[in-house]
Amino acid sequence: MTTVEIIFLGVYFTVLCVLAVYGSHRYRMAYLYYRHKFKLPTPKGVLPALPRVTIQLPIFNEMYVVERLVDSVCRIDYPRELLEIQVLDDSTDETCGIARACVERHRNKGLNIVYIHRTNRQGFKAGALEHGLKVASGEFVAVFDADFVPSPDFLQRTVPFFSDAKVGMVQVRWGHLNREFSILTQAQSIFLDGHFIIEHTARNRSGCFFNFNGTAGIWRRSTIEDAGGWQHDTLTEDLDLSYRAQLKGWQFIFLPEVISPAEVPVDMNAFKSQQHRWAKGSIQTAKKLLPTILKSDLPFVVKREAFFHLTNNMAYLLMVLLSVLMPLSMVVRFHHGLYGTLFLDLPFFVTATASVCVFYVATQREQGVSGWARLKYLPFLMSLGIGLAINNAKAVLEALLNQQSGFARTPKTGSEGKSIKRIQKSYLGTKTLMPLVELLFAAYFTGALWFAIDARIYTSVPFIILFQAGFLYVGLSSLLRGRLKSTAASAAALKPPEEQARRVA
């Protein structure tokens, strides 16, 4: 074996080793979850009087969901004299008229609701929240994105926790209005459930930092101000503010039993746009705050968890590199009579892939899902995660290279259950050349699969199929703009608007 080939395999196994470390971190999250599962948060006391609350609704071109959002927020059960609602609208389309009319309708019913429209999108969502905060009257500020439908008891169940003067933010769990729409929305729902049920609970109850998710949470206004306010130098202003506030000593509370339903993207391009923003923003936040965190006098376990939390998306860069190297390493070792060393791959792959299985099976189990219903989506979840690697690796590279980009909103369609409204093309995710790259990777792994079968290297076949299927699904779904969704959903999309409204009601 030549020196070049030895170096090549050394790089390959190094990549596998680092990915295995990030993968094994899921085991720690599951361990911490079960260790602290029954450490339920309770209010430390009783508020002497109910405080004044402002609810902010930042929107941008959300004509399909803005009315649903405003109507649901106006149903929140809280003394009207203590509640203010701000519709922070940066829209440039028909949303403006719909939102204005909706606000006026509720104002005529006696609600304290205001419509605030900016003529520019400076700072994007963070800028809108900051602008609204300047004229807000509330001591506490709740935020809901356009696709959310908060329950009427949201404030009743969150405000009492602020009886503890150290608590700066309370976050509730996201639900999913359209989980059943397609296999893509099922997968997204499981991903988000893992983040909220396992990760948030584990981090919060073990004393580590966790983050406000940009929506379905409520802040103490003085916490926002003490932490430096909303800043828009990253694409994840929520993650950024969360870490700055906790560095200041503020405590956060997560309430997994309080659920605020929302819509997940039905279109692959919209989903990829959302993932790109989250991945890029997390690395931007890591670059901005991780040095301060590591230099602080915080406990080692808090620093360690912050490191894994903020840098987790770096794994996508390594996943793309692994995707290039894995078939080549198989060929190199086979031609040198060393294909038996493929068994060296197994501990690394099992560490990375089995951790995904354990993590998401635990997530489903905690929701009462059992048996086949708990397991049937796992292969697809792993493939989808691999298929997103190119999209998210690009986001990570942009963050590392300081390439700035605008805040790309996640298109909402008003989807609930398996129904969907007719939507304009401008409300779908933007097409790029990325699907062609993903399909090239799918073709590359198709060749690798043929070689593995021909050479009888059967230990590699399951992993190759995971990579091949992931890149193929993500690439094709991106090109077909969601036409791979369920037949029922497709049929619902063709129904008249009146019938769709009846179905949703």
Q: What is the pLDDT of residue 215?
A: 97
Least confident of 35-49, 174-188, 228-242, 450-464: 450-464
Q: What is the pLDDT of residue 291?
A: 97
Contacts of 66 (CB under 8 A, 6+ apart): 59, 87, 95, 98, 99, 102, 146
Is 304 within the bounds of a domain? no
- Claim to verify: residue 390 and residue 347 sit in the same structural domain: yes
116 phi, psi to nearest 5 deg:
-120, 115
- Claim to verify: residue 329 and residue 453 sit in the same structural domain: yes
Is 321 within the bounds of a domain? yes
238 catalytic per annotation: yes
- Claim to verify: residue 192 and residue 160 sit in the same structural domain: yes
Residue of 89, 90, 147, 240 marked active site = 90
The confidence band for 485, taking pLDDT boundaries of 50, 70 and 90, is very low
Q: DSSP per residue over 239-273, as a string?
A: HHHHHHHHHTT-EEEEEEEEEEEEPPPSSHHHHHH
- Claim to verify: residue 252 and residue 392 sit in the same structural domain: no
Stated pTM of the model:
0.90
**For range 195-217, the mean pLDDT:** 97
By three-state DSSP, how is residue 472 classified? helix
For residue 302, CA distances in Å to 156, 218, 248, 294, 403 come to 31, 23, 14, 9, 29
Q: Write down the mean pLDDT value for the chain.
A: 88
Cα–Cα distance, 227 to 275 (Å, whole number): 26
pLDDT single digits (tens) 260-306: 999 999 989 999 999 999 999 999 999 999 999 999 999 999 999 99
- Claim to verify: residue 225 and residue 362 sit in the same structural domain: no
High-pLDDT (> 70) share of the chain, %: 88
Q: Which of 287, 207, 205, 198 is nearest to 239 (CA)?
A: 287
Report yes or no: 93 and 61 within 8 Å, Cβ to Cβ. Answer: yes
Chosen domain end from 201, 236, 266: 266
Q: What is the pLDDT of residue 495?
A: 41
**For range 384-413, the mean pLDDT:** 89
Is 115 within the bounds of a domain? yes
DSSP assigned state of 326: H
Cα–Cα distance, 48 to 45 (Å, whole number): 9
The confidence band for 39, taking pLDDT boundaries of 50, 70 and 90, is very high
Cα–Cα distance, 43 to 440 (Å, whole number): 54
Q: Which of 116-120, 334-338, 392-396 has the highest mean pLDDT?
A: 392-396
Q: What is the pLDDT of residue 494?
A: 35
pLDDT single digits (tens) 400-414: 999 987 777 777 777
Least confident of 14-28, 244-258, 424-438: 424-438
- Claim to verify: residue 25 and residue 56 sit in the same structural domain: no
**Helix residue ranges per DSSP H, 173-299:** 183-193, 201-205, 221-226, 237-247, 268-295
**Helix residue ranges per DSSP H, 388-433:** 389-400
Is 402 within the bounds of a domain? yes
- Structure tokens belonging to residue 67: 């009315």
Report yes or no: 118 and 140 within 8 Å, Cβ to Cβ. Answer: no
- Claim to verify: residue 119 and residue 225 sit in the same structural domain: yes
Output 428 or 174, whichever has higher pLDDT.
Answer: 174
3-state secondary structure 13-41: HHHHHHHHHHHHHHHHHHHHHHHHCCCCC
Instruction: Please say if the pLDDT value at position 125 is more than 60.
Output: yes
- Claim to verify: residue 18 and residue 91 sit in the same structural domain: no
**For range 205-218, the mean pLDDT:** 97
DSSP assigned state of 409: P
Q: What is the pLDDT of residue 238?
A: 97
Q: What is the pLDDT of residue 430?
A: 59
- Claim to verify: residue 64 and residue 27 sit in the same structural domain: no
Contacts of 474 (CB under 8 A, 6+ apart): 268, 272, 384, 387, 388, 391, 435, 438
The DSSP bridge partners found for residue 494 are none
Q: What is the pLDDT of residue 421?
A: 61
Q: What is the pLDDT of residue 344?
A: 59
Instruction: Please say if the pLDDT value at position 54 is more than 70.
Output: yes
Instruction: Please say if the pLDDT value at position 499 is more than 50.
Output: no
Instruction: Please say if the pLDDT value at position 91 is more than 80.
Output: yes
Amino acid at 100: R
Instruction: Please say if the pLDDT value at position 486 is more than 60.
Output: no
Instruction: Please say if the pLDDT value at position 493 is more than 50.
Output: no
Q: Which of 411, 382, 188, 393 is nearest to 279 (CA)?
A: 393
Q: Of all helices (H) and strands (E), which one includes residue 106?
A: helix 95-107
Chosen domain end from 266, 291, 324: 266
The tally of CA atoms less than 13 A away on the side-chain side of residue 117 is 13
Q: What is the pLDDT of residue 166?
A: 97
**For range 87-104, the mean pLDDT:** 95
Residue of 145, 147, 193, 238 marked active site = 238
Instruction: Please say if the pLDDT value at position 310 is more than 90.
Output: yes
- Claim to verify: residue 19 and residue 144 sit in the same structural domain: no
Contacts of 156 (CB under 8 A, 6+ apart): 77, 78
Beta strands in 378-491 (DSSP E): none
High-pLDDT (> 90) share of the chain, %: 69
The confidence band for 77, taking pLDDT boundaries of 50, 70 and 90, is very high
Is 299 within the bounds of a domain? no
The confidence band for 247, taking pLDDT boundaries of 50, 70 and 90, is very high
Output 90 or 336, whichever has higher pLDDT.
Answer: 90
Q: What is the pLDDT of residue 287?
A: 98
Q: What is the pLDDT of residue 487?
A: 37
Give the CATH number, domain containing residue 180: 3.90.550.10
Is 45 within the bounds of a domain? no
454 catalytic per annotation: no
The confidence band for 492, taking pLDDT boundaries of 50, 70 and 90, is very low
Is 418 within the bounds of a domain? no
Instruction: Please say if the pLDDT value at position 56 is more than 80.
Output: yes
The confidence band for 426, taking pLDDT boundaries of 50, 70 and 90, is low
Contacts of 316 (CB under 8 A, 6+ apart): 279, 388, 389, 392, 393, 395, 396
Range of the domain at 227: 50-266
Q: What is the pLDDT of residue 13?
A: 84
Amino acid at 110: G
Cα–Cα distance, 504 to 48 (Å, whole number): 41
- Claim to verify: residue 137 and residue 218 sit in the same structural domain: yes
Q: How many independent structural domains does the chain possess? A: 2
Phi-psi region of 54 (alpha: psi -120 to 50; beta: other; left: phi over 0): beta
Exposure pattern of 277-302 as b/e (b: 16+ CB <10 Å)? bbbbbbbbbbebbbeebeeeebeeeb
Q: What is the pLDDT of residue 402?
A: 93
- Claim to verify: residue 256 and residue 332 sit in the same structural domain: no
Q: What is the pLDDT of residue 354?
A: 81
Please, what is the Cα angle at 149 between 65 and 128, to 5 degrees?
65
pLDDT single digits (tens) 145-166: 999 999 999 999 999 999 999 9
